[in-house]
A and B are shown apart, each in its own frame.
Chain A
């Protein structure tokens, strides 16, 4: 009986999370995997891990924080598994030095800008990638700090760097 209740609670929480954050999870998967088939597998894995995780959800953090934490951690596992094959990942500081080539305001092809953005995200180290993806998703700095586990001032610094990168990469043109 208790097991049935546990399952039902897990299912209810998962259904609510999937309905509210399903599209956010899709975008998150895009930030970790470029290949469409592998991305589908990753997204499926994230959903399975999320569903299972609700056995341990005790409500000490919000549903949103929990969903983002579990999803990013599942995706980070993938980054670590593929570590041997992937080139060295970089931090926000290194990326900030790079000059962009795509002007999002004037770009005829938004898909090109989006592809460039995803490419950029996938070169970042896990923590920087998490901050950037959460910022792009419109998550506030307090929640980002809660999800990632950094101090609010640390997150504020990183968000500032992310903004600089986005502006430099997508709005500034080479003279």
Chain B
């Protein structure tokens, strides 16, 4: 089997006709600036929209909440949202474009996987930050207008299901990343 040469397939690969023309450096510079602008606009837009909608809604709830638990919960959610926005902004402003740094492919891949693991860890931080506020708000809402036992049970089951799905997705993602890291370590040694 191994006597057969694979030159034909390599030649076929290398002889593929070109489809794209080479861009001039002024074109590249223009496109890079456009790309930066788009990323900056998207990030700023998302942050502003997230902040405005959340804070406006929650401030309204703090002002008009009927129960003190609800108000306290809403205030905690505002604090959590503000902290998350600040953390996100800090992470963005200190981020290094690793793909421009000329790292070897394995080192780059490993760094990206580790980054994904850290991001998943930050998600837990996010859940922990919001959870007390959400629970207090729910408690306040239930105290203000008591629910029938069946609705309360439905709410509890729905909430638990939602939490279970989110946890399952995060754990699955983290396991996948860990498996990739293990595979990378094993292949690096072989």
Interface residues on A, range: 35 or more
Bound-state Cα–Cα, A163 to B7, Å: 10
Q: Is B188 a contact partner of A150 (Cβ separation < 8 A)? A: yes
Do B116 and A80 have beta carbons less than 8 Å apart? yes
Shortest Cβ distance from B23 into A: residue: A47
Q: Are A48 and B28 in contact (CB under 8 A)?
A: yes
Which B residues touch A157, using CB under 8 A? Answer: 190
Give A149 to B111 CA distance when docked, in angstroms.
13
Name which of B1, B8, B9, B116 has the most chain A CB atoms within 10 A of its CB: B9
Flag if A15 contacts B35 (CB, 8 Å): no
Binary CB contact string for chain B from 98 to 127 against chain A (1 if under 8 A, 0 otherwise):
111111111111001100100000000000
Q: For the complex, would chain B's binding face be called helix, strand, loop or mixed by DSSP majority? A: helix
A–B pairs, 13, beta carbons within 8 Å: A18-B23, A26-B16, A45-B35, A55-B100, A77-B99, A104-B12, A113-B12, A126-B109, A127-B184, A136-B10, A137-B13, A163-B2, A166-B9
Q: How far is B101's CA from A77's CA once the two chains are assembled, in angstroms?
A: 13
| B9, B31, B107: the one within 8 Å of A44 (CB) | B31
Q: Which residues of B contact A (CB under 8 A)?
A: 1-2, 4, 6, 8-10, 12-14, 16, 18-20, 22-23, 25, 28-29, 31-32, 35, 97-109, 112-113, 116, 176, 180, 183-184, 187-188, 190
Q: Say yes or no: B103 contacts A167, CB within 8 Å.
A: no
User: Which one of A15, A117, A150 contacts B25 once the chains associate, using CB atoms below 8 Å?
Assistant: A15
State the Cβ distance, B31 to closest chain A Cβ, in Å: 6
Using Cβ atoms and an 8 Å threshold, which residues of chain A touch B8? 104-105, 170-171
Q: Are A66 and B102 within 8 A (Cβ)?
A: yes
Q: Is the pair B31, A48 in contact by a Cβ cutoff of 8 Å?
A: yes
Structural contact, A11 and B25, CB atoms closer than 8 A: yes
How many inter-chain contacts with C-beta < 8 Å in the A-B complex? 149
Tell me whether A91 and B183 are in contact (CB under 8 A). Answer: yes
Asked if B105 and A72 sit within 8 Å, CB to CB, the answer is yes
> B101 — which chain A residues lie within 8 A by C-beta?
53, 56
The CA of A148 and the CA of B107, in the complex, are separated in Å by 8
A contact set with B: CB distance below 8 Å:
11, 14-15, 18-19, 22-23, 26-27, 30, 40, 43-45, 47-49, 51-53, 55-57, 61, 66, 69-70, 72-74, 76-77, 80, 83, 91, 104-105, 110, 113-114, 117, 125-127, 130, 135-138, 146-150, 154, 157, 163-164, 166-168, 170-172
**Contacts A26-B20, A69-B102, A104-B9 hold; do A136 and B14 have CB atoms under 8 A apart?**
yes
Interface centre among B2, B4, B97, B105 (most CB of A within 10 A): B105
Residues A114 and B13 in contact in the complex (CB < 8 Å), given A11-B25, A23-B18, A127-B187? yes
Rounded to whole angstroms, the CA-CA distance of A154 and B124 in the bound complex is 37
A21 to chain B, nearest CB (A): 10
A51 to B36, CA, bound (A): 14
